[in-house]
Amino acid sequence: MKRKCLYCYEAVDGAQDFHEKCSMEFFGTPTPPVIEYSLDQMDELAKNVVLVALLLESNCLADKEQLF
Ligand SMILES: [Zn+2]
């Protein structure tokens, strides 16, 4: 059974989920990053994502000249 690229949905060779080209476009790297988090880490990661989102939001409201 042929795999399909998760980016362009064309058939892809081997056990890859993305064409090298598509991975490059999607992730900025020729191979997609391997994401293996435990559920605990996932929970922690989710919290971090929320924190980062909040930080980014407050950064947007703050004076950008001060931050960069
Ligand atoms: Zn592709």
Work out the angle at residue 19's Cα, subtended by the Cα atoms of residues 15 and 22, and round it to the nearest 5 degrees: 145
Residue 63 alpha carbon to ligand 1 centre in Å: 40
Tell me the C-alpha distance between 43 and 51, whole Å: 12
Residue 7 alpha carbon to ligand 1 centre in Å: 5
In DSSP notation, 14-53 reads TT-SS-HHHHHHHHSSSSPPP----HHHHHHHHHHHHHHH
Residue 42 alpha carbon to ligand 1 centre in Å: 27
Read off the pTM: 0.47
Helix (H, G, I), strand (E, B) or coil at 11: strand
Question: What are 14-56's pLDDT values in tens digits?
Answer: 878 889 999 999 889 888 877 666 666 667 777 777 777 777 7
Residue 28 alpha carbon to ligand 1 centre in Å: 14
- pLDDT tier, 66 (very low <50, low <70, confident <90, very high otherwise): low
Residue found by looking up tokens 């790297």 in the block: 29
Residue 19 alpha carbon to ligand 1 centre in Å: 4
